[in-house]
Amino acid sequence: MTPVLFEKNRSIKQLAALLIATSIVVSCGSAKSVSTKKKNTTKTVVKSENLRRLDSNFSGRVPSSINSILKDAEKYIGTPYKFGGNTSSGFDCSGFTVKVFEENDKKLPRRSSDQADAGKKIDINEVKPGDLLFFATGGGSRVSHVGIVHDIGSDGEIRFIHASTSKGVIISSLNEKYWNKAYLHAQRVL
């Protein structure tokens, strides 16, 4: 291979890698850490006054069918992020929701933007475990990330399980600044 052809081939590979990396960030967003480390101490980020109030009034009992979905989701905690992934070796956000619901005989569309139209749109204060939350991680109003409501705290705090690009499958809170600002809406599909 000539030096010019070799250099051109290398440039194309670099461009392809850049495009793939960009699509990963856009497809399922990125997660911001809930805590910061300083001198071996962990400081939890506290809800600030600049965040929207995104709490739920749910305080009822979670049906066993939804508990089954949540247990299946929990078994994947720590699974790495993989663009286009929908197996235990790696998930993207919508691949994760499809897999978890599929294991419970529920069918969801593959893309997060299509999942955002499934079921019934609900107000955030009506959210309960098993509902889906949608986010615009790149700003604006285009759905680019999805998570499953995991639990509601006694103070109404909504925690959700999802496949983040930086940490894989984790549980996050709508009280975290990044997710609070990116939140779009909730859907009930069950």
Owner of token pair 């599909």: 189
Going from N- to C-terminal start, the domains of the chain cover 64-188
How high is the pLDDT of residue 15? 54
**pLDDT in 10s for each residue of the chain, 190 residues:** 555 555 656 656 665 554 444 444 445 654 443 333 333 333 334 455 689 999 999 988 999 999 999 999 999 999 999 999 999 999 999 999 999 999 999 999 999 999 999 999 999 999 999 999 999 999 899 999 999 999 999 999 999 999 999 999 999 999 999 999 999 999 999 9
User: Would residue 150 show up in a list of annotated catalytic residues for this protein?
Assistant: no
How high is the pLDDT of residue 17? 52
- Kindly report the backbone phi and psi dihedral angles of residue 149, in degrees, each rounded to the nearest multiple of 5, phi listed first: -60, 125
How high is the pLDDT of residue 78? 98
Residues 6+ apart with CB under 8 A from 130: 62, 66, 69, 70, 148, 149, 190
How high is the pLDDT of residue 28? 66
Radius of gyration, CA atoms only, the chain: 18
Give the span between the Cα atoms of 56 and 75, in whole angstroms. Answer: 25
Q: Domain 64-188 sits in which CATH superfamily?
A: endopeptidase domain like (from Nostoc punctiforme) (3.90.1720.10)
Q: pTM value?
A: 0.77
